[in-house]
Amino acid sequence: MSSENPISRRDLVTHLGVGIAGAALTAAAPSAHAQTASGATAAPFADPTAKYPKPPYPGQSQPWPGLASKMNPRPDHGETSYKGSGRLTGRKALITGGDSGMGRAAAIAYAREGADVVISYYPTEEPDATEVIQLIRAEGRKAIPIPGDLREESYCKDLVAKALAALGGLDIIVSNAGRQQQCEDLLQLTTEAFDATMKTNIYAPFWIIKAALPHLRPGSCIIATTSEQAYDPAGNLYDYAQTKAATMNYVKSLSKQFGPKGIRVNGVAPGPIWTPLQVSGGATQDHLIHFGETYPLRRAGQPAELASIYVQLAANDASYTTGNIYGAGGGGGQP
């Protein structure tokens, strides 16, 4: 060392330590430019209480089973908001009630995640179904519409056979379609109406799952739409609430039976979600107008807000999730 610039070993170590620490801090703290770039690409930050319309909603009614395209406000199924990332590439899905509600949200999300999709719907729901088919095909995926009446065993069996033929197999079944007709007086509930709810909500999943089971490989999954009504039933939804409790129960039963086969079975339990169920006889006008108002988020949910749950339950990284019910209740606490 030069005597003109004397430095001790201790000074040298101290200076080196400061330099290394400073470099580490510089590397750890992103520059203002990096922060700006990150913020520009970040997902939108949203207050869940203000994200969608709040009650009071306009009074309205439609003939059963109703159309989402005629609702005011029109439900959001993720048509413009859902962005995929290839989580379900190459998968083959059958979704009942795929024209509207959670079924439509799942169909859109599945297509954007890379899956081919068959949707089942009641024939009068064709206008809504046509929109969904167009959205799926816009993603370059197969979209197969198969209309019919789920209350008929022959249709349910035919639905599975056609789905298998069209897609070349099946590995995701979303049993979502449901019938909900409120009745405030048990004495006014007819056997015909009770039977229609049972056939749609309980018999149809039995027929469909039974027909599809021999074709499901290990890694396949079944996802059922149950409801908060399974846990906290309304007085005027006597028959519907029973079927949703039964749905929750068959998820847990079949997950035990199918687990050794490598087939997962799970459920989704929505709270108050804005779908055609409410405007086509599923709720009184007063309940519809104030739908979701008493919940902590102070509004009804939208089908788009559940899409990611259906994706997660179908994805490979949920491989240890079976026999579970995922809630989306707006703070209502069910399940």
The catalytic residue positions are 240
- Using CA atoms, how far apart are residues 225 and 107, in angstroms rounded to an integer? 14
SS (H, E, C) the chain: CCCCCCCCHHHHHHHHHHHHHHHHHHHHCCCHHHHHHHHHHCCCCCCCCCCCCCCCCCCCCCCCCCCHHHCCCCCCCCCCCCCCCCCCCCCEEEEECCCCHHHHHHHHHHHHCCCEEEEEECHHHHHHHHHHHHHHHHCCCCEEEEECCCCCHHHHHHHHHHHHHHHCCCCEEEECCCCCCCCCCHHHCCHHHHHHHHHHHHHHHHHHHHHHHHHCCCCCEEEEECCHHHCCCCCCCHHHHHHHHHHHHHHHHHHHHHHHHCCEEEEEEECCECCHHHHHHHCCHHHHHCCCCCCCCCCCECHHHHHHHHHHHHCHHHCCCCCCEEEECCCCCCC
Q: CB neighbours (10 Å) of residue 152?
A: 15
| Nearby residues of 69 by Cβ (< 8 Å), 6 or more positions away | 127, 128, 131
Cis peptide before 127 (omega within 30 of 0): no
| Nearby residues of 53 by Cβ (< 8 Å), 6 or more positions away | 73, 299
